[in-house]
A and B are shown apart, each in its own frame.
Chain A
Amino acid sequence: MSETVMQIRDLGLEFPTPRTLVDVIRRRPARVVRALNGVSLTLEKGETLGVVGESGCGKSTLARCIVRLYKPQHGGIHYRGEDIFASESKHDRDYNRRVQMMFQDPYSSLNPRMSAGQILEEALRVHGMRPEKEIPARVAELLDLVRLPQDAAAKLPHEFSGGQRQRIAIARALAVEPEVLIADELVSALDVSVQAQVVNLLLTLQEELDLTILFVAHDLRLVRHVSNRVAVIYLGRIVEIGDSETLFASPSHPYSQALLSAAPSLDPDEKGNAIRLEGELPSPLNVPPGCPFHVRCPHATDICRKDVPALRPIEGRGEVACHHAEEVKHHA
């Protein structure tokens, strides 16, 4: 049986927007962006959980909450049974070491004035991973691990290509021997041919080091390829979560169906089955009542406009948050 590494329960996070002068004069209350509205999920040891959704749905916010860049207002995250927001400085640093994040933009997430070697050394020193004299050897080992040449240690980030920079970011995360990696759009900024190299590396390292990965991305094909399980997020809520192959082969939630069918196929003759969504993602400033998807949903009925559907298990599928999950047949 797999062991649960991380338990996220009912996570809610709101960002207040600053009141404008007009708001103050008209005595309008400050508005809030509801980025996360009760997200619950678990991460099992050694698995890859893919998180997909449109921009603004809260997938990056979720990733940032997990590494404590944001503190949620509701719910909590437990890592191996311990609440990560109940701060005890000693455990703090230990948690930071064991859960590492890698960012989307390889151009702004590395300090441009530090060489690749210094970036890795810093990570090793801060967490006291190795005695001082073993550090150079460990840096060499890490470069080797991510398939970078040894002379890379002396180079500055601008001397590397995008793909190589993401390798440095991976090496930096792995330097401190983490258990969980949070990959926020790790390969989105890379070209297709380079993307494949980084994904291959990630899969190999996961195998070798028994890593647990939360893979946030908007490229559905890629998420399908790397994930064991997938969570589909819409307006700060999980609408469907389940085994990657089942979910992609026969999505149950109307939103997952539309999202998956919108990804253009490589086969020129495979068209016509796409479900076209009307309209766009509502603003998180103004989340619709009831099911947040009902304004765009082709299957919406009265109950959808009133009650928020809970995430519930469906036989033979994963968990789906839809009042009509049983009736909605998959269109694939």
Chain B
Amino acid sequence: MTTQTILDVKGLSTTFARGNSALKAVRDVSFSVREGEVLGLVGESGSGKSVTLRSLLGLSRRYGKVSGEVRWMGQDILSLPERKLRPIRGGEIAMIFQEPMTSLNPLLTVGVQLTETLKAHTDLGRAARRDRAIEMLDHVGIPDPASRLDAYPHQFSGGMRQRVMIAIALAAEPKLLLADEPTTALDVTIQAQILDLILSLADEMNMGVILVTHDLGVVAQTCENVAVMYAGRIVEQGPVRQVLRAPRHPYTEGLMRSVPQDVPPRTQLYSVPGTPPGLDALPTGCAFAPRCQNVKDICRTERPPLAAISTARLAACFNPVCNSMEASR
């Protein structure tokens, strides 16, 4: 069965100006999301995963230059003026942010913030909006929703605030949810609750999700497909099981191996040597070359393209990790 592709991103680049130099935060990123698909975007801090997400919705264009193509239901939304983008942003594509503490307005009650979204994106009347708001709060598991509608964000705990954020994001029944590290600020027990909630709602509403995270465990437990980013580019992409079980890009392998799971306790962990490069001082050739164990001469001079290495899998590497008899290219 083929489901419809709802978002198609091609060659997305975002550049921020810093003094006289340009910081290329996102470089030539391409991916697509199908209806109901959960796509994970992983990478370390500064790898460009959050900027990618923000660029999709036109949130970066005030500060930087965004180029490429973002097709939403066949329409290029990157070139769309603010006015035309507004019904899509928050309506068809919703976003939740990392910090539930700072992304809610502290001066407005939760009810006002919820009905505001409904007012902008639906044609419900005043009473219907209130009913819908109560329904949404109930849906995300907030006890006693009718009375909580008049509460302010500070009266909620972190986990509850993230639930409110999700309720606001989902109020207009979006087709795609962009979740930027939705659980990073939360404790593990709450994290599990919130991820379960996002997944079950996505399933129920047949909504696509792009989940940005740095936690490979979260990706393993929630996503179907994953894209690994390093220094602004996608370096490996494919179905979660295949990518995590048998990573082909040395960076993905390094990430997997540095997580202490199934290693003898108190032994030396595998670690990727060095640190991620600054975006203003990227090496020529492959950005990972200075830290790579499989590095070859060509890696230092030429940049490997993101190419198919098997069905459904892409990797940007001249000398990918071999898990089988497959020889390096």
Contacts and interface: CB of A to CB of B under 8 A. Distances in A.
Q: What's the interface size class on A, roughly?
A: 35 or more
Contacts of A267: 220, 244
Contacts of B221: 264-265, 268, 271
A200 B257 CA distance: 13
B44 A192 contact: yes
Given A163-B275, A203-B268, A225-B265, A265 B220 contact: yes
Contact of A266 (B193, B217, B269): B217
A267 B245 CA distance: 8
Interface string B115-153: 000000000000000000000000000000000000000
A266 B256 contact: yes
A194 interface: yes
Most buried by B among A161, A204, A245: A161
Given A259-B188, A274-B192, A277-B189, A196 B261 contact: no
B189 A195 contact: no
A158 to B, nearest CB: 13
Chain B's interface size range is: 35 or more
A187 to B, nearest CB: 11
B326 to A, nearest CB: 22
B192 A262 contact: yes
B187 interface: yes
A2 interface: no
Interface stretch (A70-78, A102-110, A129-137, A215-223): A215-223
Interface string A14-33: 00000000000000000000
B270 A194 contact: no
B216 A276 contact: no
Interface in A249-265: 258-259, 262-265
Interface in A199-239: 199-200, 203-204, 218, 220-222, 224-228
A88 interface: no
A164 B274 CA distance: 10
B179 to A, nearest CB: 15
Contacts of A277: 189, 192-193
A227 B265 CA distance: 8
B258 interface: yes
21 contacts: A48-B266, A163-B275, A191-B45, A191-B214, A192-B258, A193-B44, A194-B271, A195-B258, A196-B272, A197-B273, A200-B271, A203-B267, A218-B188, A221-B260, A244-B265, A264-B220, A268-B220, A271-B221, A274-B192, A277-B189, A277-B192
Interface of A: 48, 54-55, 161, 163-164, 191-197, 199-200, 203-204, 218, 220-222, 224-228, 244-245, 258-259, 262-269, 271, 274, 276-277, 280-281
